[in-house]
Structure 1
Amino acid sequence: MQIKSVDIFCEIIDNFGDIGVVYRVAKELKKIYNNQVKIRVILNRIDEFLSINPSAKNLEIQEIDGICYCTYEYIKKNMCTFSTANVIIEAFGCTIPEEYMNVAYNNSDLILNLEYLSAEDWVEDFHLQESILGKGKLRKFFFMPGFTEKTGGIITDSLYLDRITKVKNNLSEYRKKYLKNIDNYDNKLIGTIFTYEKNFAPLMRDLKKLDREVALLAMGEKTQESFKEFFKKNFVEKLGNIYKYGKIEIEFYDFLSQEEYEELINVVDFNFVRGEDSFIRAVLTGKPYLWHIYCQKEFIHMDKLQGFLDKYRAQVQGQIAEDILLNQEKLFKDYNFRNENTLDEGKEEFSNFFHNLNEIERVNSLYKDFLILNCNLINKIKDFIEKF
């Protein structure tokens, strides 16, 4: 099927992850099709998009880099002059306005329900299964991101891969740009920390044991508030936006654009990330990372985490010492074991992680290469639509 136009719907709830994914998909589709395909992103609200894209304005409709961004309210008020796209992407099971769908049933051809990322085995069975709509000519299919060739893959967009190469080729320049507030940064272990609510006592305990100075870049309100709780119980020096705890310094980073964040995580030595969007960005750096997975009731998130660990093991087993791999798996589980986000102290131990950073990075680079080669979500979407 020829792709003439694509409408991507995103219903933002309480974080930047959903719009982060949608923004990447839209930009990559625009790069692939240039001006041959009209691409629109339709958001239930604009606030989070204003934060991740400094070019965005608080308008109901605007064009940025050849992509149209508009709000649900705009299309509700203007459906009489607003034609539906022949391809619709429904991000994460969002609710598309009824006014739009009433027209789309007969005027559009295909709708893809782009689901959340999961590594569980059942994803392969549901990927590209049809959901019967029962009216009009419009057909709907589930598109399930994942970590195997039989799933929808992950967003390995060329824009990000190009940015990684640019940072690596100009590392000194980018380190000056992002680490300018850290004295003697070339001799320090540096990492980004982006989490939900988290007790950082175990992390700080194990970092103190290292024989080198450490700098942590604390990203996001919840991360910074969690560090403040640690500071209340421990003596720290505060120098502007930097807190010093012995040989560890923590810098509270201001909010970055999506592109700036992608540069930063390729500058540092390791990344602790949260959710889905920043997790995949960290995986594609090939650097050591730790994932704070989104917490769900009845420990459902632990099943999803185990699914990822199983897929990771399947690709790297035999290429890394078994004791290092086992310690990695234990750390991921201990770091995430919770029934709700609290500041309770966990059982995680980080010493093995930091003592094996070079080996972990070597193997993570191999895993990254596998995903780029076999699990490119954008290419899989493009191929499915064109063959539809």
Structure 2
Amino acid sequence: MSPDFPRTLAIFCKVVDNYGDIGICWRLARQFHAEHGIAVTLWVDDLASFRRIWPQVDTAAELQNIDGVTVRHWAGQDGQFGPADIPDLVIEFFGVDIPPGYIEAMAQREPRPVWINYEGLSAEEWVEGCHRLPSMHPRLKLIKHFFFPGFNEKTGGLLRERGLVEDCARFQEDAAAMAAFLGRFGVREEEMAALKVSLFCYPHAPVSELFDVWAQGAMKVSCLVPEGVAREKVEAFIGARAQAGAAATRGALTVRVIPFMPQTDYDRLLWACDVNFVRGEDSWVRAQWAARPFVWHIYPQDENLHHVKLRAFLQKYAVGAQSLVDFSLRWNDAREGQMEGLWTSLQAELPGLTRRAREWEAQMLANGDLVSNLLDFARSLST
């Protein structure tokens, strides 16, 4: 095993779920470079979505350097490539189709690169059997290996940069820092005593029903919604355009529209809130590292296959927390039920869910961090 392998690396990202795909790939790219000194090239097809989570992105640039990472606009499948263009390690994200000319050049390079298909995060048991499996190219002398993030030692673990958990703990222990951070978005001092909730979901989530329950409830709730999320339902509540800075209070509920923020600030939002509603994969993982109760809105799939994936995760995570299971299934349209009763039950279990979040964090830490695990695997293939 060569400790200085790889020196160069490429990640190919095609944006399907607006921010989750590029969110994960950008975290990967930054960590490979910052913590392991690897020269990283990130190929991404949607620079506009990228810019929303990292404002330094120039959406008109074909080639740019951001925080030491080379970012290339992946404009299509054409292009001429030679062996000298190919890095030591090539990662295709969620099985995207790398340009054919690039693959041909991979086969011509000596030594051939390690080729990894970075798969989606799932708690389903079949993942453990597929993690690290090889796949021969049908025509070229190339082998691709599958690498699955996951929740135990039989998978690649969760994406986590160095010092993340410690930074989160320090922030959460500093009430003044949290108040100052939330104050940037208009959260008043008296709102700090309310139940602080971040809301990030897909448009079909039953947001209006939940807003009604919160507004009519006995507990004050301060809900922070990034601009563009559940736009129509947020606008119906506040009675105005859902642009950053807009806010309204009805009954016990205050809804505030906040800017769509860089990843580093979004992490702090999750750390500062008492409950986080997250979606897709990137924010889902970050909610787990925030060690706070959270509700996951899973990316929808045909024939409701996503409900299987949701239940598999809840079976592992929501141990002894039936209220979270019931509410999560309702939030994802996987069961029926009155939102009021489901939320009331969940709210009553928040102290226990906070303890469970801490336990889960400790379990996930024991699996190591995904980038280090992936590099160890890639090095084992390079010998």
Q: Same fold (TM over 0.5)?
A: yes
2: distance between equivalents of 1:54 and 1:41? 16
1: distance between equivalents of 2:305 and 2:253? 34
Deviations 1:92-135 (A, max 9, x none): 11111122111012213211100111111111111111111144
Match of 1:164 in 2: 168
2: distance between equivalents of 1:162 and 1:51? 26
In the alignment, does 2:366 pair up with 1:373? yes
Q: How does 1:121-270 map to 2 (within 5 A)?
A: 121-158=125-162, 160-180=164-184, 181-183=186-188, 184-197=190-203, 198-208=205-215, 210-229=217-236, 241-270=246-275
8 Å CA contact 2:216–2:252 kept in 1: the answer is no
Change (3 A) 1:152 1:134: same
- SS of alignment partner, residue 116 of structure 1: coil
Match of 2:100 in 1: 98
Deviation at 1:78, TM superposition (A): 6.2
Deviations 1:314-355 (A, max 9, x none): xxx4xxxx4xx122211111211259xxxxx96442112112
8 Å CA contact 1:61–1:74 kept in 2: the answer is no
Change (3 A) 1:43 1:301: same
Q: How does 1:1-388 map to 2 (within 5 A)?
A: 1=2, 2-34=5-37, 37-58=38-59, 59-73=61-75, 77=79, 79=81, 83-107=85-109, 108-158=112-162, 160-180=164-184, 181-183=186-188, 184-197=190-203, 198-208=205-215, 210-229=217-236, 241-313=246-318, 317=319, 322=320, 325-337=321-333, 347-348=338-339, 349-374=342-367, 376-388=369-381
Number of aligned pairs? Answer: 368
8 Å CA contact 1:44–1:71 kept in 2: the answer is yes
8 Å CA contact 2:245–2:257 kept in 1: the answer is no
Deviation at 1:73, TM superposition (A): 3.8
Unaligned runs of 5+ in 1: 340-344
Change (3 A) 1:159 1:55: farther
Change (3 A) 1:298 1:136: closer
Change (3 A) 1:275 1:220: farther
Deviations 1:223-262 (A, max 9, x none): 2322234567xx9xx9961011112110011110111101
Change (3 A) 1:85 1:346: farther
Change (3 A) 1:137 1:160: farther
TM-score by length of 1: 0.87
- SS of alignment partner, residue 152 of structure 2: coil
Unaligned runs of 5+ in 2: none
Identity of aligned residues (%): 27
Deviations 1:169-224 (A, max 9, x none): 54412321223412212221111011112222432343245433211001252423
8 Å CA contact 1:147–1:153 kept in 2: the answer is yes
Change (3 A) 1:73 1:200: closer
2: distance between equivalents of 1:38 and 1:49? 20
Q: For residue 120 of structure 1, what is the amino acid of its counterpart?
A: E
Change (3 A) 1:298 1:81: closer
2: distance between equivalents of 1:295 and 1:374? 28
2: distance between equivalents of 1:230 and 1:9? 40
8 Å CA contact 1:160–1:262 kept in 2: the answer is no
- SS of alignment partner, residue 137 of structure 2: coil
- SS of alignment partner, residue 235 of structure 2: helix
- SS of alignment partner, residue 300 of structure 2: coil
Q: For residue 217 of structure 1, what is the amino acid of its counterpart?
A: L
Q: For residue 12 of structure 2, what is the amino acid of its counterpart?
A: F
TM-score by length of 2: 0.88
Deviation at 1:80, TM superposition (A): 5.5
Deviation at 1:14, TM superposition (A): 4.7
1: distance between equivalents of 2:367 and 2:244? 47
1: distance between equivalents of 2:51 and 2:308? 34
Change (3 A) 1:346 1:90: farther
8 Å CA contact 1:148–1:375 kept in 2: the answer is no
- SS of alignment partner, residue 55 of structure 1: coil
8 Å CA contact 2:158–2:370 kept in 1: the answer is yes
8 Å CA contact 2:136–2:142 kept in 1: the answer is no
